Amino acid sequence: MSIPTIVPGKTRVGWIGTGVMGSSMVGHLMNAGFAATVYNRNRSKTEALVARGARWADSPAEVARQSDVVFAIVGFPKDVRDVMLGAQGALAGAAPGCVLVDMTTSEPSLAVEIYEAAKAKGVHSVDAPVSGGDIGAREARLSIMLGGDQPVIEALNPLWSAMGKTIVYQGGPGAGQHTKMVNQILIASGMIGVCEALLYGYKAGLDLPTVLQSVGSGAAGSWSLSNLGPRIMNNNFDPGFFVEHFIKDMGIALDESRRMGLSLPGLALANQLYLAVQAQGMGRNGTHALQLALARLAGIDWKNRG
């Protein structure tokens, strides 16, 4: 199969899913000189991009008909299956040589399925989940974890570099998704630590911003502490990444761990705690809303603390 040469102003880019992450990511591609065709189930979420010059398409298949490289970043594996493999999915509209890129955090097995279906049609497929949240998306500082055929992935370097800073090839189809599971397992236990530490500091009567100055740059420092810690202190639980999507990710990782015969009790605990967060009506909050649920266990009304 031919591999496209990526040239700003010539290569046509398609984008499916213009939510919190996707709108920033395709915006960077447009800033780099790539013409974009966009689709979202809620058309209103594409209006700002269309106002900047993107074209609207009424289905993922239509996006692919107008594109050389099609990116998707949607919510759940069932959404990935629909926008990639459905009757009006991107593969249905993709010409031979087109590249389909799924940037959703999804199932490794689905990434392999899409790869095989695309290959049978002469189409390339790459799994490319990201880490960095809404901040990384806005600042084009995402970590992009890549699975698929290495020559195809290398050909897309001008596109990766417009969206991210840490761009690493992990292996064949599904390897990007497996790497993202490693990332999510690390975050799951890490968020428990961040929230419990801030609860402890508060209960001990410490000034939390001052505490963060001491611990944030040492061995206990982390992206979650530095970026989400201040949000927690300021009662800003707006989503960079939705709780309900994180639960989905942990479910995938737990399923994969069971398939491999692994016991991951820390991940299982985090999953149960986040299910409690969702049950308390915070599924559309950011992952740091775990603080509110843990505070309730301690009898603390975090948002109204003195």
Average pLDDT, the chain: 97
12-172 CATH: 3.40.50.720
| Mean pLDDT computed over 103-111 | 97
Q: Does the global pTM surpass 0.85?
A: yes
pLDDT single digits (tens) 209-222: 999 999 999 999 99
Closest CA to 60 of 32, 33, 79: 79
| pLDDT surpasses 90 at 20 | no
CB 70 within 8 A of CB 98: yes
How confident is the model at residue 51, as a pLDDT?
Answer: 98
CA distance 96 to 201: 58
Closest listed residue to residue 247, CA positions, set 263, 266, 271, 267: 271
Q: Is 165 a catalytic residue?
A: no
pLDDT per residue as tens digits for the range 260-297:
999 999 999 999 999 999 999 999 999 999 999 999 99
Q: Which of 10, 180, 203, 303 is catalytic?
A: 180
The residue among 220, 176, 175, 166 whose CA lies nearest residue 198 is 220
Helix locations, the chain, DSSP H: 22-31, 47-51, 60-65, 77-85, 90-93, 108-120, 133-138, 150-155, 157-163, 175-203, 208-215, 223, 229-233, 243-259, 265-277, 290-297
H or E element: which one contains 100? strand 99-102
Sign of CA dihedral 112, 116, 117, 122: positive
54, 26 contact by CB (below 8 A):
yes
Task: Identify the CATH class of 179-304.
Answer: mainly alpha
How far is residue 189's CA from residue 269's CA, in Å, rounded to a whole number?
A: 8
Confidence bin at 240 (pLDDT 50/70/90): confident
* Domain boundaries for CATH 1.10.1040.10 within the chain: 179-304
Numbered ranges of CATH 3.40.50.720 in the chain: 12-172
Residue 133 to residue 213: CA distance in whole angstroms: 23
